[in-house]
Structure 1
Amino acid sequence: MKPKNIKYNDLLIDLYASAYARAAEPAAHDLKRKHGAPLYRDLEVSLENCYYGGTFDVTITRRVMLVDGTSTTPQKVVPITIERGCLPVIRDLEHPRFRRENVDLIYKATISLEEELTGTKLYIQHLDGRQLEVPINEIVASGLKQRIPNEGMPSTSNPGAYGDLIIGFSF
């Protein structure tokens, strides 16, 4: 049974090149290049786009050596589909209000000592545009957190489920 996600030609070329490094390296390198090395690119996606999902165009460039010894850098626009709530292998852009931890959204609230002692309401604009009203009726200490169920990111492993919104307090 073959393991998944292995390109056997590349594996053989790597083995051949390492076994006969000095003599075979240029030939093995040329063979591998013809097959095309995998492209790894950082893709920055906003937290809102991770929340809703969608298809985004990404421009990929790759330096290609020509037969005459010169090089060119062609560009190709590739659509990338991100499922809603995904935990992508891409980096979320920094968000001004939230931070992400898996499917949970982290929000840092700053309240005054008076609000801490007498109670208050936090108004938080969610990623989906809703205005959440969160009553703070108990005395909260700096560093404590309040968890609001089902107000985080959509879950990819459990359709219809959401992570939590976790509010951290500072004064």
Structure 2
Amino acid sequence: MQSSDRHGTTSRPGRTIRSATSTDDRFAEIFGFSSPFGQPSYTGGQGSANPPRPHKAAPIENRLLCNLEDLYKGATKKIKISREILDSNGRTMSVDEIVTINIKPGWKKGTKITFPEKGNEAPGVIAADIVFIVDEKPHEVFTREGNDLIMTQKISLAEALTGYNAQVTTLDGRHLSISINSDEVVVPKEGMPIPKEPSKKGNLRIKCNIKFPSRLTAQQRAGMKKLLGS
């Protein structure tokens, strides 16, 4: 004859079998053990079979100041960076490294040059990218608007009325003589190179700043009226 106690254990003479609600199984249920043999099953944490993936550090941005001549003709810049790397024992050490940037003709302000994972190394972290962002130095003669170069030429009223030849030195050292006969003169293909098509260029625009005389004599006024037909 079989008998059951109140804890769910079925007894036979000389033999005891634990039911599914035994103390060991309740212990496993409470503490998260999922193995059918009562062994613990872990997820995450130290010693896990699936350790957390390393995260990548945020990019490190640096300003790359260029003059218009470099952006017109192209140039090569070598820059020293200092960074920390991990040695074979996992310890950090400081090193200096030279990176080379080849500036392409026509590059604009805001152009980014990226050196992947050249930042500091650290355990559990993927090194940051080093990013250089092009900026333009002010030029004493030209300003830039897109692919065009803008130049302001100061001339007198007489020069504006009778004509004037402006002498212009380009960013690559050539000398141009340009006839000024209006408030703005456009010289085709003398602007900045177009990055995707370096053989093509924008325009050079010469804007005239006319200096008017502060006063005129009676004779000059008469002469101006006669000249202008009024």
Q: Which category describes the TM-score, using the shorter chain as reference length?
A: 0.5 to 0.7
Change (3 A) 1:72 1:116: farther
Matching residue within 81, 98, 106 for 2:150: 106
Q: 1:161, 1:38 → 2: CA distance?
A: 34
SS of 2:158's equivalent?
helix
Q: 1:148, 1:73 → 2: CA distance?
A: 53
Q: Which residue of 2 aligns with 1:125?
A: 169
Q: Which residue of 2 aligns with 1:149?
A: 188
1:97-154 deviation per Cα after TM superposition (whole angstroms, max 9, x unaligned): 1111111111111111111111110001110101111012x3x3xxx42110000111
Q: 1:104, 1:58 → 2: CA distance?
A: 29
1:1-171 superposed matches below 5 A? 32=55, 35-61=56-82, 75-88=96-109, 89=111, 90-136=134-180, 138=181, 140=182, 144-171=183-210
Task: Point out 4+ residue stretches in structure 1 off by more than 4 angstroms.
Answer: 71-75
Q: How many residues align?
A: 130
1:19-76 deviation per Cα after TM superposition (whole angstroms, max 9, x unaligned): xxxxxxxxx9xx54xx3431211110010000111221123356x6x9xxxx998653
Uncovered stretches (5+) of structure 2, i.e. residues with no partner: 1-51, 87-91, 112-133, 211-230
The residue identity in structure 2 corresponding to 1:157 is: K
TM-score for the superposition, normalised by structure 1: 0.66
- Counting aligned pairs with the same residue, the percent is 34
TM-score for the superposition, normalised by structure 2: 0.50
Uncovered stretches (5+) of structure 1, i.e. residues with no partner: 1-27
SS of 2:199's equivalent?
coil
Contact 2:71 2:106 in 1 (8 A): yes
Question: How much has 1:168 moved relative to structure 2?
Answer: 1.1
- The structure with the larger Rg is 2
Query: How big is the alpha-carbon RMSD for the aligned residues of Structure 1 and Structure 2?
Result: 2.5
* Structure having greater relative contact order (Cα 8 Å, sep ≥ 6): 1
